[in-house]
């Protein structure tokens, strides 16, 4: 962007020399992400991979027992739970490989690195879940038309093992699931398995006293509804990341207002915010300041980075300093619209 020098008149008043700006390193370019600044990524790599690997190894045992138990007990609900668990094994395997790929650094071809491999893995997990749901529906409908006796005691025994195992897996992945879509997908698999195992356990208890064999396939369909609900949740978040949508809960209008009131800043325009990955938020904008040497913006850039990180959770800020407002000076860049009508204000924040 071409800079337009102005007169020595200050558009920012006394804010330009505010004593409240923290000291920073001198720099000779306009990019706020330089060799001196430190990003504040959430540290999920230290434990996320090992937790996924443990879950992967142990998660093969439970569905194997459920398959054998489901065949001997004649329970489609137990067999459906086993099919879901086997799909989880494949999903966690994909999540672990995505974790390994995501650890690769940036390259000239992939300047943001490979962090979005986790998003692709999450989409792959959705395909697996939908396939498992289709299998469960098929088996449940078949059992409605051809009911069979079910051994309640054996169902309870195998389901009890599933409750303990899946509960352990869910607890194991819970912490990292808060920050990683990839781990969250695996966590939702485990949480779904835990709840379905509880449902199957209750089913076995009821069948010990009541010959309600229709309950077994009906509960299987309830499991399907839960699976599909999780699919939609993951798909929606993955889609927003791939579309470079404004991260959930981030209001760019509030960020603009905050920056415009920042000491040393005359105006702010052309704001962009997007997820590099589910745990990293990037942000760029044009910052209008008084006409001055680039090196004098170092303190201001450092102060902005600090505030964006701690107040809005933005760990990858890109700031373009200017001495005059370019274009229409609006919130959104008209180049992104390609001549289209501006997006209504109600869509600026992703709920």
What are the beta bridge partners of residue 284? 272, 318
Per-residue pLDDT, averaged over 54-76, amounts to 73
Query: CA nearest 172: which of 150, 154, 194?
Result: 194
Q: Count other C-beta atoms under 10 Å from residue 31's C-beta.
A: 14
- Taking the C-alpha atoms of residue 223 and residue 81, their distance in angstroms, rounded to an integer, is 8
Q: Are 208 and 144 in contact (CB under 8 A)?
A: no
Please state which of the ranges 37-51, 81-95, 136-150, 291-305 shows the lowest mean pLDDT.
37-51
- pLDDT-based confidence at residue 37 (cuts at 50, 70, 90): very low
* pLDDT computed for residue 334 by the predictor: 60
Please state which of the ranges 122-131, 143-152, 199-208 shows the lowest mean pLDDT.
143-152
Asked if pLDDT for residue 194 goes beyond 50, the answer is yes
- Taking the C-alpha atoms of residue 184 and residue 72, their distance in angstroms, rounded to an integer, is 34
- Taking the C-alpha atoms of residue 130 and residue 136, their distance in angstroms, rounded to an integer, is 10
Q: Which has the higher per-residue pLDDT, 283 or 3?
A: 283
Q: In the chain, pLDDT over 70 holds for what percent of residues?
A: 75
Q: Are 29 and 295 in contact (CB under 8 A)?
A: no
**pTM as predicted:** 0.64
Q: Are 279 and 44 in contact (CB under 8 A)?
A: yes
Q: Torsion angle, CA of 149/153/154/158, rounded to 10 degrees?
A: 130
- Taking the C-alpha atoms of residue 163 and residue 169, their distance in angstroms, rounded to an integer, is 10
Asked if pLDDT for residue 31 goes beyond 70, the answer is no
Q: Are 303 and 23 in contact (CB under 8 A)?
A: no
3-state secondary structure of 210: coil
Q: Which has the higher per-residue pLDDT, 275 or 115?
A: 275
Q: Are 156 and 68 in contact (CB under 8 A)?
A: no
For residue 340, the 8-state DSSP code is P
Full set of structural domains in the chain with CATH = 13-30+246-347 (3.30.70.1350), 45-242 (1.20.1510.10)
In which element (H, E) is residue 287 found? strand 280-288
Asked if pLDDT for residue 69 goes beyond 80, the answer is no
Angle between the N-to-C axes of helices 215-242 and 181-207, in degrees from 0 to 180, rounded to the nearest 10: 170
Angle between the N-to-C axes of helices 45-58 and 181-207, in degrees from 0 to 180, rounded to the nearest 10: 30
Per-residue pLDDT, averaged over 306-329, amounts to 89
Interior angle at CA 165, CA 168 and CA 176, nearest 5: 30
For residue 349, the 8-state DSSP code is S
- Taking the C-alpha atoms of residue 283 and residue 179, their distance in angstroms, rounded to an integer, is 18
- pLDDT-based confidence at residue 285 (cuts at 50, 70, 90): very high
Q: Which has the higher per-residue pLDDT, 259 or 347?
A: 259
Cα of first residue to Cα of last residue in the chain, in angstroms, is: 33
3-state secondary structure of 120: helix
- pLDDT-based confidence at residue 80 (cuts at 50, 70, 90): low
Contacts of 206 (CB under 8 A, 6+ apart): 152, 212, 215
In which element (H, E) is residue 273 found? strand 267-277
Q: Are 114 and 101 in contact (CB under 8 A)?
A: yes
């Amino acid at each position: 962007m071409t800079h337009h020098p102005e007169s020595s008149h200050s558009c920012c008043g006394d804010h330009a020399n505010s004593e409240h700006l923290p000291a920073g390193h001198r720099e000779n370019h306009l990019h706020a992400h330089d060799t001196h600044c430190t990003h504040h990524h959430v540290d999920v790599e230290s434990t996320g991979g090992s937790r996924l690997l443990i879950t992967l190894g142990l998660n093969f045992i439970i569905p194997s027992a459920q398959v054998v138990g489901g065949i001997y007990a004649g329970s489609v609900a137990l067999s459906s739970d086993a099919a879901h668990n086997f799909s989880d094994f494949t999903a966690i395997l994909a999540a672990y490989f995505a974790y390994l790929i995501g650890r690769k650094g940036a390259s000239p071809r992939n300047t943001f690195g490979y962090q979005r491999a986790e998003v692709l893995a999450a989409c792959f997990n959705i395909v697996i879940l939908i396939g498992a749901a289709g299998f469960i529906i098929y088996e449940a409908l078949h059992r409605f038309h051809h009911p069979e006796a079910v051994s309640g005691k054996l169902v309870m025994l195998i389901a009890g093992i599933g409750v303990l195992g899946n509960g352990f897996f869910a607890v194991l992945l819970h912490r990292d699931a808060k920050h990683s879509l990839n781990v969250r997908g695996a966590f939702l698999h485990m949480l779904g398995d835990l709840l379905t195992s509880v449902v199957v356990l209750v089913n076995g208890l009821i069948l010990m006293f009541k010959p309600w064999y229709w309950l077994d396939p009906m509960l299987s369909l309830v499991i399907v509804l839960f699976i599909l609900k999780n699919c939609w949740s993951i798909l929606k978040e993955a889609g927003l990341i791939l579309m470079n949508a404004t991260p959930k809960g981030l209001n760019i209008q509030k960020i603009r207002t905050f920056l415009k009131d920042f000491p040393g800043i005359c105006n702010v325009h052309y704001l962009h915010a997007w997820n590099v990955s589910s745990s990293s938020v990037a942000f760029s904008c044009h910052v209008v300041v008084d006409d001055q040497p680039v090196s004098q913006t170092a303190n201001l850039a450092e102060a902005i980075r600090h505030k964006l990180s701690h107040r809005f959770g933005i760990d990858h800020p890109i700031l373009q300093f200017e001495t005059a407002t370019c274009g229409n000076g609006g919130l959104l860049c008209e180049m992104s619209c390609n001549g289209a009508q501006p997006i209504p204000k109600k869509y600026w924040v992703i709920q």
